[in-house]
Amino acid sequence: MEPLQPDTLIRNPYGAPVVASVVVDCEAPRLWGLVGQFAGFDAFIPALSHIEMTGVGVGALRTKIFHDGHCVVEQLNSRDEDAMRMTWTTIYNTLGVARLWAAMSVEALGSRRSRATWTVIGEPVEMAQAELETFVQAFADSALENVRRMLG
């Protein structure tokens, strides 16, 4: 019998990135203060009931509980406060997504305007890739529009 070897189910997804972006009439640090809070996405995503955190900083786990009962567990991969960017990976979900990687970044567009960009690469379990990409695009666009309304 072969000895057990290190293995993992986590791998990066393949596919075209889905990119959602919004320009807001506010300073970049203020925008980052909203979209850059890994534990705070329920502030601008109304479908979320709440978020439970395990740990802090890179490596922390975020469990997003949706009002409809769905659950998504994600791990914070990287975070750069000065550059205003972070990345995360979905490690468990009930949404039918096999693999998902995402990034959020904020850039200043002058002193009183800034842009938030949410990039997602995902692979579905059973639905068509195009269907997942359409869903993710609509979800991210809607969330960032909420951000614009909240801060603009």
Q: What does the pLDDT profile of the chain (152 residues) look like in tens digits?
A: 999 999 888 889 988 999 999 999 999 999 999 999 999 999 999 999 999 999 999 999 999 999 999 999 999 999 999 999 999 999 999 999 999 999 999 999 998 999 999 999 999 998 999 999 999 999 999 999 999 999 98
Give the model's pLDDT for residue 8.
Answer: 86
C-alpha 17, offset from chain centre: 13
Q: Are 58 and 79 in contact (CB under 8 A)?
A: yes
18-151 is a CATH 3.30.530.20 domain: yes
Radius of gyration of the chain (CA): 16
- Domain range summary for the chain, segments of one domain joined by +: 18-151
Q: In degrees to the nearest 10, what's the CA dihedral of 106, 103, 120, 97?
A: -140
What is the pTM for the complete model shown? 0.94
